[in-house]
Copies of this chain bind each other. A is one copy, B any other.
């Protein structure tokens, strides 16, 4: 299996993704929030890029059936129901509703991909579940790290590296890695015993702690704590039917 990892979204184009399984990684916090929403009983999460799209979609789907969530620079958007803290996405708030989510980095990758790809949302909270699915499909893999404002993000790269590690060591798949995938695997292996600390000490981890979200950073670093498989279907992220 060929594994191409992209440290930043910039250089990704459709051609480089054709025919592959796509894994989208935004540990802090979109991937984690998606996993949390779906386990809290949300019918789907619809990722959108722009605020006006989010508002339009809500009007179309009906305000009573939808929850508007998201952030810019980590902070909840004015007039939105929820921010991007996974803890906000409880059964009471999102159960049986459709979550419309727009975040600074993590929701953008969903629009780049060709809808014929299998597109999986991956955080540390569900990384082993994702590895199992990738192994089952057997197709070549592209891991898209959301990064931070066009820059690389250490937690997304760690998560991508951990996914690769699981594919190799647990799923026993022979892999052919691109340069960035090798780097991510190296980063993971060098930090496998100190994941939580490395992420908390990273640039975005520190920033989120400063604005009051240290517990989100902790929760998002909790490996395999929400072992679900969110996949994109008709532009909506839903749990895979088992």
Contact = CB atoms under 8 A, between A and B. Distances in A.
Copies in the complex: 2
A7 interface: yes
Contact of A10 (B8, B178, B179, B190): B8
Interface stretch (A95-103, A114-122, A151-159, A231-239): A151-159
Given A178-B203, A203-B178, A11 B183 contact: no
Contacts of A157: 183
Given A179-B154, A179-B203, A7 B10 contact: no
Contacts of A150: 8, 10-11
Interface in A159-180: 178-180
A202 interface: yes
A187 interface: yes
A200 interface: no
B183 A8 contact: no
Contacts of A110: none
Nearest to A190: B186
Contact of A7 (B152, B186, B202): B152
A190 B190 CA distance: 10
Contacts of A179: 152-154, 202-203
Contacts of A8: 7-8, 10-11, 150-152
Report which residue of A150, A151, A202 has the largest number of chain B beta carbons within 10 angstroms of its beta carbon: A151
Contact of A149 (B7, B11, B149, B183): B11
20 contacts: A6-B151, A7-B7, A7-B8, A7-B151, A8-B10, A8-B11, A8-B151, A11-B149, A11-B150, A151-B180, A152-B180, A152-B183, A153-B179, A154-B179, A154-B183, A157-B183, A183-B183, A186-B186, A186-B187, A186-B190
Interface of A: 6-8, 10-11, 149-154, 157, 178-180, 182-183, 186-187, 190, 202-203
